[in-house]
Structure 1
């Protein structure tokens, strides 16, 4: 159970993935005294295609619940979820809410091997205008991984083949509309943000991560020798990054 001395943590997954993937790191953080939530993105597996705005609203709903409870909140956004988190924290920064006489607020947004996008940019723009070969864009409404070559080895290069198979079984189609809608908010202008760099990431190159980390101001980045999914192969390290983010955020309160 959480204690009042720790911020609440909200995890936002990336494309094709469900919130249960965070179970391991959530267990680690729970043992350290943190309350955690994980968002289910409407664009993942939806029968009627959803977009970035739908995902942002879903994440914001959970974040706002914790904020309205008076909690200090750390948001951790993975991969595509970086765009979701960017919009979901709009006007929820702890310091600005405190000035307005309100309790609770977001004290840190952590981009975990995630896209940091300036206003007007969509995921497809960040991919250079065309998807990599391990993403199957042939469906009119959805982006698939199951028919794409080497997707599992690229995404989970630090997991064993048997663990990769477990993750493949949980893949869900991703709404194409979510990759085409531009982000409309730059949260680093409003509240503290930091980057968790996964050094062995084969999906989002290290140089790209470092370039995006440099956009976030003076907050220190956290580095780990993880794949694109460090929360699966290195949950303890990700928990350490969350704690660092919480400490840095609390210094600004």
Structure 2
């Protein structure tokens, strides 16, 4: 398939992160012929953390990123969702699957979901509930101010398999995040729809100190749907520690989606 006909890859970052955190991954996706688009949302470092929620993040991604790409740009989309980005992307892609939109007379749609250690929450289940109803000790609540949180120490928790000389650069990529994003229930997830059967992929990070592999397994099992799961011996940020290998796996996933 020519580059012009390939789907656009929308990258939805995890909490505390920004699209710039994926910069090491992008050259490899570009080399493979893909165009990428950032999928940011309001709860990352908001001016007023009391005025955000997971459902607001979902609506923002859907209305300001996905629908314009599908309807105005006329492009198919593949979503890469990292960590909390899985909650946001899951809700935002609801009823946007290629098959669903084709039945409505639309020529474009979301052709696949790729979760990179993505959080999987059920309808009405907040991320806070999904991780057991308590924050891990590395999430520093009400820091730097009330209603926000940060992860400390970031290198140990998020970048445990990255070269420590990158710490100054990586520290600049982390932002405070609104706690209400984690504590408010999201809308129903797209991955639960049969239209995404054969179009769900999951990169399981085996050396993850933020979302341990056993927690990822719990999320996958409780989803009650089938995912194509590929294991990476990596920490929470494989797009930093193993960008080329991750890009190669992403293109394999997308090749599989397109072939269906």
TM-score by length of 1: 0.91
For residues 160-198 of structure 1, give each alpha carbon's deviation from its aligned partner in whole angstroms, at most 9, with x where no partner exists.
Answer: 222133212332110111011112212223223221111
Number of matched pairs: 248
2:113 is equivalent to residue 109 of structure 1: yes
Does the CA contact (< 8 Å) of 2:11 and 2:38 recur in 1? yes
Matched, 1:195 2:199: no
1:217-242 CA distances to partner (integer Å, 9 max, x unpaired)? Answer: 33421222211001111111221222
Which residue number in structure 2 is paired with residue 18 of structure 1? 18
- Superposed displacement of residue 55, structure 1: 1.9
1:98 is matched with 102
Instruction: Indicate yes or no: 2:160 matched with 1:152.
Output: no
SS in 1 for 2:89: helix
Are the equivalent residues in 2 in contact too, given 1:200–1:226 (CA < 8 A)?
Answer: yes
Alignment of 1:96-245 (within 5 A): 96-138=100-142, 139-145=145-151, 148=152, 150-190=153-193, 191=196, 192-214=199-221, 215=223, 217-245=225-253
Q: More displaced, 159-168 or 212-221? A: 212-221
Look up the match of 1:58. Answer: 60
Q: 1:155, 1:216 → 2: CA distance? A: 28
- CA deviation digits over 1:14-49, x for unaligned, max 9? 111111011121211111100111122211111122
- TM-aligned CA deviation for residue 216 of structure 1: 6.3
Distance of 2:133 and 2:9 partners within structure 1 = 33
Residue 79 of structure 1: how far off its partner (Å):
0.5
Q: What is the SS of the residue equivalent to 2:11?
A: strand
Distance in 2, matches of 1:40 and 1:174, equals: 12
The equivalent residue for 1:71 is 75
Query: How far has the Cα of 1:212 moved from its partner?
Result: 2.6
Match of 2:43 in 1: 43
Is the 1:194–1:216 contact (alpha carbons within 8 Å) kept by the matching residues of 2? no
Relative to structure 2, which stretch is displaced further, 181-190 or 210-219? 210-219
**Alignment correspondent of 1:4:** 4
Mapped partners of 1:88, 1:188: distance in 2: 10
Please tell me whether the aligned partners of residues 13 and 19 of structure 2 are also in contact (alpha carbons under 8 angstroms).
yes
Q: Is the 8 A contact 2:158 2:236 kept in 1?
A: yes
What's the C-alpha RMSD, in Å, of the aligned pairs?
1.7
| Cα offsets for 1:103-159 (capped at 9, x unmatched) | 1100111111111111111111122111000001135311123xx4x3321110011
For 2:86 and 2:189, how far apart are their aligned partners in 1? 11
